[in-house]
Structure formats: structure tokens, C-alpha cells
Homo-oligomer: A and B are copies of this chain.
Amino acid sequence: MNTQSIVERIREIIDDETLVQLKEELNSYHEADLADIFQELKPEERLQCFKLLDLEKAADLMEYLTPQIQVELLGDIDEEMASKILTKLPHDAAADVLGDMEEDESETYLDKLPHKFSEEVRELLTYNEDTAGGIMNPVVLTVNSDMSVQDVLNHIRIKAEEDNMELYYVYVVDKQNHLLGVVSLRKLLTSPITQKVEDIMISDIVKLHVDDYSDFITDEFMKYQYNALPVVDLYNRLKGMITWDDVHDLFEEETTEEIYQSSGISTEVVDEDEILSGNIINAIRARTPWLFITLLGEFIAVNVAHHFDHTFSLLPVVATFMPLLAGLGGNIGTQSITLMVRGLSTGQVTLSSALHYILRESCIGASIGLLFGFLVMLVTWGWQHNVGLGCVVGLAMAINMTMATAIGTFTPFALKAIKVDPAVASGPVIATTIDVVGLAVYFTLVTVYLARVFS
């Protein structure tokens, strides 16, 4: 599907004012495709198109739109219509939309919604939106342990139809709603219809707690690979369930955070959505801390270099190699950091294998360092007709790259060991350390060399 060409066709139909055709065209798309189209439209076009959608289609579409566009559209259509759409949404989706609105605005809508629905949504809104309670859908199909398979199938026929619920597993609870077990639809459909649920249910259940945070939730889903997990409270009472499609969104958010952190964009103080498109002040707040640490570190580097001022007057070309050394040391060090931080995050790398990886990376650093050092030596020699200087720069390059990989590998493990998140802290600390140490090595070599030449 080429979104751009569809958007252009829709614009033409809007211009022609053949609304019947537009209505038909829009309602024929899958809601996921519509979401892509809406993303590209201008706000006024978006509103015009949204008003032409059937109620069901509009509600389905809501779940695929970004929070900004959801709030924008609901705010622009009349409140009656907005309430109708909200009621058609699953509870967790409705709570997400209302949670993104200003409080007085969401209250207006909540008052207009059917009482039972609004009560359940209000309860969801009391949970932190980054915890299982804020993410879960409270509408879950539950059965009692003494029901037969046939009873359960009849129960599903009635309940699943009326409540528009997602159905992957049937949860078995006692009279106080304590979670006892789980039965998959597959098991249900392949068991004799007279069998008791308690005989086919699994009782060693992987479950989430309402207060579990989103990173824990995605880890559990990735690890156990179920497509839904139940959510319980402190007393093991079933409060809702989280399905894999909720987790996909979380997973994408976490990936974004991980990638942002790897280049020093902090997602601690500012929400990750805000950085790309929100208030510019927030974007600056997210980006400054890392740069500030770099600034401090580079002042140390400046100070180190300053001790060799006399060298620069003696042999100015020495100074010109500083960006070369810093650049390559920084880059190869960043590669090592990235590999370790990512490996620790996926579990492919563990603390107990730290030594193995430090040796491996240092070995890689030394190999590439010797290669690049040799190249730099040749170029410098040929360019400056000074084999001694070539050797100094080449040797500095080799040592610099080896040290950069060793530091870049060691630091994430050290941070992990003292329970600091390596993803957040590694980058700036390591990059400036490599700069400072690299320059110190270089200038020491230069000084030794000059002492021999001029002695």
C-alpha cells in the first residue's frame, strides 16, 4: 500500500466535494491502513474524514492512532459522538485516550459514559499508566473450577459475545475471584465436553501484579512467549489481563528509549514521546545532561592538552592529530559499549562472563588498532617525511583503540555490578574517559619522542 498516493487521491476527492464517494472509499480501508493515512492528512482534512467514518470503523481506528491525534479528533467532534466512540473501545484503550486528556475534559466524557463502563475506566485511571494496572484490560472471561468443558463453552458463547472481550485463555477463579488456574481455548476445544475445568487447567501460572512496571512486563512476555498474561492484586485476586498487542506497543516504546539512551538522550526526566515532537524546552532538558557531562570531561581533556602547549610551539603538527585520535578512539569505544549494553539488556551477555568479553573486545581493539595504527604511521610518514612522528602517532592510535575497547567493555559491567543502569550512564562517562586517557597517552609518547630527538 502506498500511503502517499492514497492521501493524494483522498485530497482530490475532498476537493471535488463528492462526499458519498469519500465516505465509501474511507470505510473500505483496514483501520490500520486508515491510521497511516490519517497520520499524513492535515488536521482539518483529518476531521472531515473522521466524521464520514461509520461508528464501528471510527472506534476500531482509534486504537491505531497516536495519542495526540486521538485527543485532537475527539476534541473536535461533538461530545455525543465522542462518548459513543469511547463506549465502543476496550476499557484499556478508553482509559488510555481519557488519560491523555486534561482532567476536566476527561471528567466531562466520563460523566456522559454508561455508569458501569465509566466506573471501570475510572478504576483503571487510578493506576500508574506505566504499570500492569494501567495497561491491563479489566474485562476477562472467568469460570469456576467445578464447571465442565461444556458449561464453559456455553458461558463463552454468552459472555464473549456481549462484552466484546479478547479471548485467548479462560481464567479459573474461586468465588472471591482469586486466580486458581488457566485453560487455553485450544485445550478447551480438544478436551471431552464432560471433563471438569479443574482437571484440565494449568495451576502453575505465570502472572503479573498490578504494580509491575512495563519493562518487567515486556521481559516476562519475551521470556515466556504467552500471548496474554493475567494481572492480580496483592491478594491474588484477578484484576485484568494484558495481551501481546499491548506489549508490542510497550516494546516499541522501550526500544525507542534504549536507542535514545545510547546516544545520550535522557528518557528519565522527559517522556519519550515529548522529545521528538513536544515542547522544545523538554527536548532541550532531555538532551543537555549528557552534553554537560561531556563538556566537563572535555575540559579535563583541554587541561591535559594544555600541559603540552610548549610541544605545540615546538612541533605544531602534533596538535593536528588530536581529532584523529579522539575520533577513532571514541568510535571503537562506542561500538564496544553498544555491544555490551545491548547484550546485557537481551540477556545474551551476563555479568559472570565479563572477563571473557573484556578479553575478547580488547583483542578485537588491539587487532583493529594495530591495523589502523600501521596505516596512520604510513600516511604520517609519507606526509611529514618523519618516520619517528609516524611511529608515535601510529603507536598512540593502536594503544588508544585497544584501551577504548577495554574501557568500553569494562564500564557497562562495572555499572551493572553496582546496580546502575549501564544504558543510561555508560555513554558520556566512557566517551570522555577515552578522550582524556587517549590524549594523555599520545602526549606522553610525543614528549618521550621529542626528548630523544632534541637531546
Contacts and interface: CB of A to CB of B under 8 A. Distances in A.
Given A32-B225, A284-B364, A372-B291, A435 B319 contact: no
Contact of A301 (B276, B324, B338): B324
Nearest to A360: B280
Nearest to A193: B157
Contacts of A346: 252, 256
A83 to B, nearest CB: 25
A419 interface: no
A288 interface: yes
Interface in A288-347: 288, 290-291, 294-295, 297-299, 301-302, 305-306, 309-313, 316-317, 319-324, 326-328, 330-332, 334-335, 337-339, 342-343, 346-347
Contacts of A420: none
Contact of A186 (B167, B339, B364): B167
A349 interface: yes
A368 interface: yes
Interface in A49-83: 64, 66
Contact of A302 (B32, B324, B431): B324
A18 interface: no
Given A275-B339, A280-B364, A330-B330, A323 B350 contact: no
A379 interface: yes
Contact of A316 (B157, B284, B313, B339): B313
- A interface majority secondary structure: helix
A277 to B, nearest CB: 7
Contacts of A92: none
Interface stretch (A99-107, A120-128, A129-137, A262-270): A262-270
A447 interface: no
B306 A320 contact: yes
Contact of A280 (B251, B311, B363): B363
Given A305-B323, A306-B317, A342-B259, A328 B294 contact: yes
A290 B30 contact: no
A88 interface: no
A222 B206 contact: no
A30 B376 CA distance: 54
A189 interface: yes
B284 A367 contact: yes
A435 B317 CA distance: 18
A87 interface: no
Given A350-B39, A368-B287, A262 B327 contact: no
Contacts of A259: 258-259, 262, 338, 342
A323 B190 CA distance: 69
A227 interface: yes
Nearest to A436: B323
A209 to B, nearest CB: 14
Interface in A222-271: 222-225, 227, 244-245, 248, 251-252, 255-256, 258-260, 262-265
Given A185-B185, A222-B252, A264 B30 contact: no
Nearest to A156: B189
Nearest to A35: B223
A186 B164 CA distance: 10
Nearest to A376: B295
A153 B156 CA distance: 14
Given A276-B339, A305-B322, 9 more contacts: A39-B350, A156-B189, A259-B342, A275-B339, A280-B364, A295-B328, A297-B327, A305-B319, A306-B317
14 contacts: A40-B350, A167-B189, A185-B185, A222-B248, A227-B244, A276-B339, A280-B360, A288-B371, A294-B328, A294-B331, A305-B319, A310-B316, A312-B319, A330-B330
